[in-house]
Amino acid sequence: MAIATDPAESAKAGGLLYFADTKPDIRRQGSPGKFRYVDQDGKRVSDHDDLARIKALAIPPAWIDSHRIPALNFR
């Protein structure tokens, strides 16, 4: 089996969805213990369900440049 070099193909092979970082997303800003999440317009994300989903991802604080897709049903 050949190793996929295309990110979308790699994600598909692993049973994941690929989300290009050129699309709107949610970003984490701040420092550990004082994080806030902002959308593509720089507005603070305050929806309880969105914040719970993001927290459940358990992305380590050291990962300073990670992306979160804006919705569970994103395609």
Domain residue extents for the chain: 21-75
Burial 26-64 (b: 16+ CB within 10 A, else e): bbbeeeeeeeebeeeeeeebeeeebeeebeeeeeeeeee
pLDDT of residue 43: 93
For 28, the token pair is 């984490």
pLDDT of residue 46: 93
Q: For the chain, which residues score pLDDT lower than 70?
A: 1, 23-24, 67, 70-75
pLDDT of residue 44: 94
